[in-house]
Amino acid sequence: MEHNYSYPLDPDWSTAEILLVMHLYNLVEAAYEHQVSVAEFRNVWHEYTHFYPAKMDQRRLDHEFNAVSGYSIYRVQQAVNQAAPGQKTITMK
């Protein structure tokens, strides 16, 4: 799928934060369009929650990303958490 939208980014974020959030967005897109590694998503999610520990900020970013892409960060995170032990990838329907 060709992406014709702008990612929600905050100009106050550091370069490291922008790269982390972009990686998260790319993994969410991969989960919906193909498949994503459970381990990789968990690692990026852990880093993301370290930078953005406030649930309110996480929800805001998820809402903004969903509004432009139609993809939910939260739903992918839920699917990864519910992955069976040993499951290496997930795909969103």
Query: Three-state DSSP class for 36?
Result: strand
Q: The tokens of 55 are what?
A: 């649930």
- Please give the model's pTM, rounded to 2 decimal places: 0.93
| Helix intervals (H) in the chain | 15-33, 38-51, 55-69, 73-81
pLDDT of residue 85: 95
Q: What are phi and psi of 39, to 5 degrees?
A: -65, -45
Q: What is the pLDDT along the chain (93 residues), one digit of tens a residue?
A: 556 788 999 999 999 999 999 999 999 999 999 999 999 999 999 999 998 899 999 999 999 999 999 999 999 999 999 999 999 999 998
Q: Cβ atoms within 10 A of the Cβ of 78, count?
A: 10
Range of the domain at 56: 15-90
pLDDT of residue 4: 76
Q: Which of 48, 56, 54, 57 is nearest to 26 (CA)?
A: 48
> Does 31 reside within a domain?
yes
Domain count, the chain: 1
pLDDT of residue 54: 94
> Does 28 reside within a domain?
yes
> Does 86 reside within a domain?
yes
